[in-house]
Amino acid sequence: MAKTLMIVDDSATMRKIIMRTVRMSGLQFDRTEEAGNGNEALEKLGANPVDIMLCDINMPEMNGTELVKKIREMDSCKNTKIVMVSTESSQELINGVIADGANGFITKPFTPEKFQEKLSPFMN
Ligand SMILES: [Mg+2]
């Protein structure tokens, strides 16, 4: 089934790198969107929910952990799988954001294989 993806990161360069890595991983999406912070992501999701979101943590305006909480309050996004992508790697932070409703965590630097491993369970 065709899947949709949103990449949320405040760095445009990082969004490009993530997009390229997703392509290299062989995973295919039928629509991809980008957002530069949590507010922008919420605005776009309100109009068009996505299947999978790759989400940075450190961002201005609304960071990734706040964004996860907001998305989990939205009925329209209850099936959206959220995978955090961050240089932060403390177990406490990872456990916290998973408890808040994220579905996975990828630490930077990442590889296409890591994307394949973490995202393919959500591609069915
Ligand atoms: Mg950032």
CATH of the domain at 100: 3.40.50.2300
pLDDT of residue 2: 84
Which residues neighbour ligand 1 (ion) by CB within 5 Å?
10, 56, 58-59
Q: What would the two tokens of residue 93 be?
A: 């932070």
If you measure from the C-alpha of residue 87 to the centroid of ligand 1, how many angstroms do you get, rounded to a whole number? 9
The stretch 17-28 carries a mean pLDDT of 96
Please tell me the total count of domains within the chain.
1
Tokens of 62: 């609304």
Q: What is the pLDDT of residues 90-123, one digit of tens each?
A: 999 999 999 999 999 999 999 999 999 999 999 9
Q: Which domain holds residue 88?
A: 4-122
pTM for the whole structure: 0.96
* Mean pLDDT, rounded, of the chain: 96
* CA 30–ligand 1 middle distance (angstroms): 25
DSSP string computed for 34-78: EESSHHHHHHHHHHS--SEEEE-S--SSS-HHHHHHHHTT-GGGT
121 contacts: CB under 8 Å, gap ≥ 6: none
